[in-house]
Amino acid sequence: MSYAPGQEPSPAVPRHGRLAGFGVLAAALTVTALVTVLLAIGAPDGVVVATGGLLALLTLQVALWQRQHRLSGALRRSQDSLRTLVRSSVDPVVILDDSLRITFASEAAGSLLGLGVTDLVGVHVFDTVHPDDRSGLAGPLDGDGQAAVRTARIRSADGGWRLVQTTVRDLRADPDIGALVLHCRDVSPSAPAPGADSEPLELSLTDAVTGLPNRTALMRRLGAVQRGPRNRSYAMAVVGVLCSEVLSPGEEATVLRALSSRISRVLRGEDWLARSSDGDFVVLVQGSVADAEAVAERLIATVGPLTTPTGTLPVTAAAGVSQLSADVDPGEALRRADLALRSAHRAGAGAVHRYDDALRTEQDRRTALRADLDGALARGELRLVFQPVVDAVLHRTVTVEALLRWRHPAFGEVSPVEFVPLLEETALITDVGRWVLGQACRTVAALDGGGPGTEALNVAVNVSARQVRSGELVPDVLAALADSALHPSRLLVEITESVLLDDAHVIDDLAALRGLGVRIAVDDFGTGWSSLAYLVGMPVDVLKMDQYFLADVEHDPARRAMCRAVLQLGSSLGLPVIVEGVNTAATLTLLRDMGHRYLQGFLLCRPLEAEALARGIVLAADALDPAPPVR
């Protein structure tokens, strides 16, 4: 039996039930007294036994009545708690039974649809839902009490449709609830122009994967907020989620639904959640930008490893926030939050960045640099510098690493940290990479016999993952070697660890280069997918330990232990280890004491222009043991 608010039954044990219980108890006491009298007067055993049986029966009845009373009281308290919780909820609440019929609707739910709650009780929920949205609403539920978000058009009393976002919690397995509990929220966009048909627009307002409002709905909501009362402030938080593994479309959909549920559970009642076209989650926050930062931090804290049938997925997030204002159109407001999100992504997982004018200036600079990279090579703005790698045992420079530099006509010297990622976003990286290979090989080959230590000097060239994946690396290397007449054994091709995880043709290409005599180095080893499983049997000749390990290495025992571990790993696999970032005398001493042999860093030599290379490689080796000061 179902009841609307105000029609709930009185407590589960009625008055006549309590009177019946007292009657049974009184009868039991009477029979007990009778048995006592019969024994006292010496009544026949049969009479005593019969009377005792009656006593036992009445005692059992008393016990059953007491148990029923306790259970009924517990049920009554559970029902009272549920009703109190439902009534205290800001959002409209609907409760469904197993057949998806409404057994309870809060007054707010009736108000949402313009109906009385008595009109809703007993109605099948699908009778209120737009036919095109029923399949999405009936998606699978885990039945474990976790929430799922569904968005659908619901018919209102005036015959129109309201876009309603529902957080569905399956509590059918809970003995105290035994139902589906729906917390609803009206996410309808602002009203269309008079005479316009809103239904075609409503069809495109929901994200097909998560059931959340999509970018179209978001933009309309932002517009409505900006046209709203001036005494309310709003801000926006854009949460970007990253997964380090490649997912199939089905796996990605599962992850997004799980994240939608997690995020929805920690939102405040006045927050409004949507998805943008690029897959980020967007939360419209009523309050200041500081409030948006607090909401974003709470959302990021809910994003973490997800357990799936195939294992655990490492998922991280960052967020950008911006204040909404009446003088900024919705598109620009979203772009500002996106800029802040990009800045947060560059800072790392868990970061929350606020938009400011400096971010806009930075973005304008990035846009200009990205445009100017096209043609920078042809205009002669790109060049190579070379940093020596010194053998601490033989006291000589054995390799120089070719490093790309850009002298911009307006901005001057642009850091590789700034422009190389822009190059890697475009196909230009392949053309520039081909030029770097040829230029580096020609420069080092031209040094032969040009001074001490120039004979058989090796050159290391960083190769982008995009160039490796293009399938053109082997022809590019062959062309560079043929053009420069450099022996293949003197070329060291540096790749990142992630390249070793690529498909078979990448490994085949690297193996082909090794077959020619070219050596392969894993750059920035220890910061990516480091694992013995990726190194054993792979076409790798050298490990380059990232300078991350040298931060505070003089005082941090853990980092010293890591430096030793990488050296021992390389030794056990027969792979030389080059240490980058040797910038202080204390670090140099420590590394030499550990047994590290191949060292590179500013302490030994800064990157050299090509014309200073012959002299610089000698000075780099001399820097291992600087001469004492002249007295």
Which pLDDT belongs to residue 54? 55
**What is the band of 13 on the pLDDT scale with cuts at 50, 70, 90?**
very low
pLDDT tens for each residue of 61-98: 656 666 666 666 555 555 555 555 555 455 688 888 88
Of 354-363, 369-378, 404-413, 559-568, which range is least confident?
354-363
Q: Give the separation between CA 415 and CA 485, rounded to whole angstroms.
A: 31
3-state secondary structure at position 511: helix
Among 311-315, 330-334, 387-391, the range with the most confident prediction by mean pLDDT is 387-391
Burial label, 337 (beta-carbon count in 10 A; 0-12, 13-18, 19+): buried
Flag whether pLDDT at 168 surpasses 90. no
Q: What's the CATH architecture for 367-622?
A: Alpha-Beta Barrel (3.20)
Q: Give the separation between CA 318 and CA 340, rounded to whole angstroms.
A: 10
**What is the band of 4 on the pLDDT scale with cuts at 50, 70, 90?**
very low
- Cα atoms found within 13 Å of the Cα of residue 277, Cβ hemisphere only: 8
pLDDT tens for each residue of 176-212: 777 888 888 777 665 444 444 444 444 467 777 777 8
Asked if CATH classification 3.40.50.2300 holds for the domain at 90-188, the reply, yes or no, is no
Kindly state the average pLDDT of the residues 312-332: 85
Per-domain residue ranges for the chain? 15-88, 90-188, 367-622
Which pLDDT belongs to residue 331? 83
Q: How many C-beta neighbours within 10 Å does residue 318 have?
A: 27
Which pLDDT belongs to residue 621? 87
State how far the alpha carbon of 158 is from the alpha carbons of 115, 116, 161, 192, in Å: 10, 13, 9, 16
Of 227-231, 316-320, 401-405, which range is least confident?
227-231
pLDDT tens for each residue of 266-290: 887 778 888 887 778 999 998 888 9
Is the model more confident about 419 or about 531?
419
Which pLDDT belongs to residue 435? 96
Kindly state the average pLDDT of the residues 169-181: 79
Q: Give the separation between CA 186 and CA 181, rounded to whole angstroms.
A: 16
